C-alpha cells in the first residue's frame, strides 16, 4: 500500500477513534458529549497543518543533507532507532517547555490549551504555527545525523503515544505512570492551575520531567479543571491561529448582532466531511497536482467558513453553501480525474450547506 494511502486511511481511523471515545466517555464516565468543541478541535485547520508539516520535513531533510555531522552513520539501525527515539523525546520536551516559558511561543501554543474537555480530539487541536516553531529544536537531530526516514518513524511513534496520553478513558493510576507520559500525567498539564499547567512537559517518556524538576503529581487540594482562565473569543480557526498577531494590532473578531444557530450536529457533520475530504486529497495520485491544489484550497476555505458559522456568522453559512455547490459542480465536470468517491463527498457537502441555510432563513 502506498504511504499516502496508508496515511490517509490512518487519519480516517483517527477520526473514528475520536468519535468512539466521546461516546464511551458519555456512557462510561457520564461526561457530556461536547460535539461542538470536538468539531472545533478537529476543524482547527488540519489542511494548513498538513501543508506546514510537509514544509517542516523539507527543512529537516535540507539540514540533514547539507549539515549533518554523521555521528550515527556507522551504527547499526538497531542502535540508531532507540537513540533517535530518546533524542526526539528530549527535543520535544525542550521545545514544549520553551513554548510555556517564552510569551510569544506561549501565545502560539495556547491554542492547544484552550480546549476544556480532555479527550483525544484535544491532541489534534494545534496552532498552525506550532508545526514550525518547534523546528529549531528538532534540527539538532539532523545535525547529529538522524536520517530523515528514522526521524519520521520515531516521530510517528511519539505522536501515536501522544494520542494515547490525551485520552480521557484511562486516567486511573497505572504501572505505566513510572515510565511513560500517561493520561494521568498529561491531564494535569492541561489543567488551569499554574502548578499543573507549567509541569509535565514530556511527550512519551516521563524521565525528562523527573530529571529536570518539572514533574507534578495530582494534589487533592488543587482542582483539575481543564482549559484556560480566559476562554477563546472565537471558534474560527483563522482568528484562533492569528491571535498572536491580531492581539498585538488590537484586532478582535466581532460577535454578530444576531447569531445564527448552527447546531452541534451540523458543525460536527461539517468537520467530519472536511476531515474525510482531506484524507481523500492526501490519497490522490501525486500526478493530479491541479485537482489536489484546488481541493486543498476548497478544504481550507471551507474550514474557515465553518469556523465563521460556529461563531454565528450568517454570511459564513451562505458562503459555505455556495462554495459546496461550486465544488460539487466542479467535481462533476472533472469526474474522470477525481473519481466518484470525491464527487459523492462534495455532493454531501452541498447537502450539508443547504441544510445549514435553514438557520439563516428561518
Over residues 93-120, the pLDDT tens digits come to: 999 999 999 999 999 999 999 999 999 9
Tell whether 142 and 79 lie within a shared domain: yes
Tell whether 108 and 194 lie within a shared domain: yes
pLDDT at 22: 94
Q: Is the pLDDT of residue 260 over 70?
A: no
pLDDT at 203: 94
Domain assignment present for 322: yes
SS3 content of the chain, % helix, strand, coil (to 5): 70, 0, 30
Tell whether 189 and 270 lie within a shared domain: no
Q: Which three cell numbers stand for residue 124?
A: 489534534
- 281, 295 Cβ separation under 8 angstroms: yes
Backbone Cα Rg of the chain: 21
Q: Is the pLDDT of residue 259 over 60?
A: no
pLDDT at 234: 85
Q: Which three cell numbers stand for residue 227?
A: 482549559
Q: Kindly indicate the confidence band of residue 261, based on its pLDDT and cuts at 50, 70 and 90.
A: low
Of all residues in the chain, what percent carry a pLDDT higher than 70? 96
**Paired strand residues for 180:** 205
Tens digits of residue pLDDT in 188-217: 999 999 889 899 999 999 999 999 999 999
pLDDT at 311: 86
Mean pLDDT of 292-311: 91
- Exposed (0-12), middle (13-18) or buried (19+): which is 32, by Cβ within 10 Å? exposed
Tell whether 302 and 197 lie within a shared domain: no
Which of 169, 186, 211 represents a domain boundary (last residue)? 211
Q: Is the pLDDT of residue 153 over 80?
A: yes
Q: Which H or E run contains 294?
A: helix 289-310
The residue ranking higher by pLDDT, 279 or 148, is 148
Tell whether 206 and 266 lie within a shared domain: no
Tell whether 129 and 51 lie within a shared domain: yes
* pLDDT, the chain, mean: 90
Domain assignment present for 247: no
Angle at 323 between CA 317 and CA 324, to 5 degrees: 90
Cell numbers 480566559 label which residue? Answer: 230
pLDDT at 282: 85
Domain count, the chain: 2
Can you give the length of the chain in residues? 362
Rounded CA separation 179/257 (Å): 52
Tell whether 144 and 51 lie within a shared domain: yes
Tell whether 288 and 351 lie within a shared domain: yes
pLDDT at 253: 65
Tell whether 269 and 182 lie within a shared domain: no
Tens digits of residue pLDDT in 6-46: 777 888 888 899 999 999 999 998 988 888 889 888 877 67
Q: Which H or E run contains 305?
A: helix 289-310
Tell whether 189 and 273 lie within a shared domain: no
Tens digits of residue pLDDT in 157-171: 999 999 999 999 999
Domain assignment present for 83: yes
Domain assignment present for 97: yes
Q: Which of 78-87, 123-132, 243-252, 302-311 has the lowest mean pLDDT?
A: 243-252
Q: Kindly indicate the confidence band of residue 249, based on its pLDDT and cuts at 50, 70 and 90.
A: confident
DSSP 73-107: TTS-HHHHHHHHHHHHHHHHHHHHHHHHHSHHHHH
Rounded CA separation 22/37 (Å): 11
| Beta-carbon count within 10 A of 170 CB | 12
The residue ranking higher by pLDDT, 328 or 6, is 328
Q: Kindly indicate the confidence band of residue 258, based on its pLDDT and cuts at 50, 70 and 90.
A: low
Residue 333 domain boundaries = 261-361
Domain assignment present for 223: no
Rounded CA separation 335/288 (Å): 13
Which of 151, 178, 211 represents a domain boundary (last residue)? 211
Domain assignment present for 232: no
DSSP 185-209: HHHHHTBSSHHHHTS---SSBTHHH
Q: Which three cell numbers stand for residue 330?
A: 466542479
Tens digits of residue pLDDT in 33-92: 888 889 888 877 677 887 888 899 999 999 999 999 999 999 999 999 999 999 999 999
Domain assignment present for 255: no
Q: Is the pLDDT of residue 146 over 80?
A: yes
**What stretches of the chain adopt beta strand conformation (E)?**
none
Amino acid at each position: 500500500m502506498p504511504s499516502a494511502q496508508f496515511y490517509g486511511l490512518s487519519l480516517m481511523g483517527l477520526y473514528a477513534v475520536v468519535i468512539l471515545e466521546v461516546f464511551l466517555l458519555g456512557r462510561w464516565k457520564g461526561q457530556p458529549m461536547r460535539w461542538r468543541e470536538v468539531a472545533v478541535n478537529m476543524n482547527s485547520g488540519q489542511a494548513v497543518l498538513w501543508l506546514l508539516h510537509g514544509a517542516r520535513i523539507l527543512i529537516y531533510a535540507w539540514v540533514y543533507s547539507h549539515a549533518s555531522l554523521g555521528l550515527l552513520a556507522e551504527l547499526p539501525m538497531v542502535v540508531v532507532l532507540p537513540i533517535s527515539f530518546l533524542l526526539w523525546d528530549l527535543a520535544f520536551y525542550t521545545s514544549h517547555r520553551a513554548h510555556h516559558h517564552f510569551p510569544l511561543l506561549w501565545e502560539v501554543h495556547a491554542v492547544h490549551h484552550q480546549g476544556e474537555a480532555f479527550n483525544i480530539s484535544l491532541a489534534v487541536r494545534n496552532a498552525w504555527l506550532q508545526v514550525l516553531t518547534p523546528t529549531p529544536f528538532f534540527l539538532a537531530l539532523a545535525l547529529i545525523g538522524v536520517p530523515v526516514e528514522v526521524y519520521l518513524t520515531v516521530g510517528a511513534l511519539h505522536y501515536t503515544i501522544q494520542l494515547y496520553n490525551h485520552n480521557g478513558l484511562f486516567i486511573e493510576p497505572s504501572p505505566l505512570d513510572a515510565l511513560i507520559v500517561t493520561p494521568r500525567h498529561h491531564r494535569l498539564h492541561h489543567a488551569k492551575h499554574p502548578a499543573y499547567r507549567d509541569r509535565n512537559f514530556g511527550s512519551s517518556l516521563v524521565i525528562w520531567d523527573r530529571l529536570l524538576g518539572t514533574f507534578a503529581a495530582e494534589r487533592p487540594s488543587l482542582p483539575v479543571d481543564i482549559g484556560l482562565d480566559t476562554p477563546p473569543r472565537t471558534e474560527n480557526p483563522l482568528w484562533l491561529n492569528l491571535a498572536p498577531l491580531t492581539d498585538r494590532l488590537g484586532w478582535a473578531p466581532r460577535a454578530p448582532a444576531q447569531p445564527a444557530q448552527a447546531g452541534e450536529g451540523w458543525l460536527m457533520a461539517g468537520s467530519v466531511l472536511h476531515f474525510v475530504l482531506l484524507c481523500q486529497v492526501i490519497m490522490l495520485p501525486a500526478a493530479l497536482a491541479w485537482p489536489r491544489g484546488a481541493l486543498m484550497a476548497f478544504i481550507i476555505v471551507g474550514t474557515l467558513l465553518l469556523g465563521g458559522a460556529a461563531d454565528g456568522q450568517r454570511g459564513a453559512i451562505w458562503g459555505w453553501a455556495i462554495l459546496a455547490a461550486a465544488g460539487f459542480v466542479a467535481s462533476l465536470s472533472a469526474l474522470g480525474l477525481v473519481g466518484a468517491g470525491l464527487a459523492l463527498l462534495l455532493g454531501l457537502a452541498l447537502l450539508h450547506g443547504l441544510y445549514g441555510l435553514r438557520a439563516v432563513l428561518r
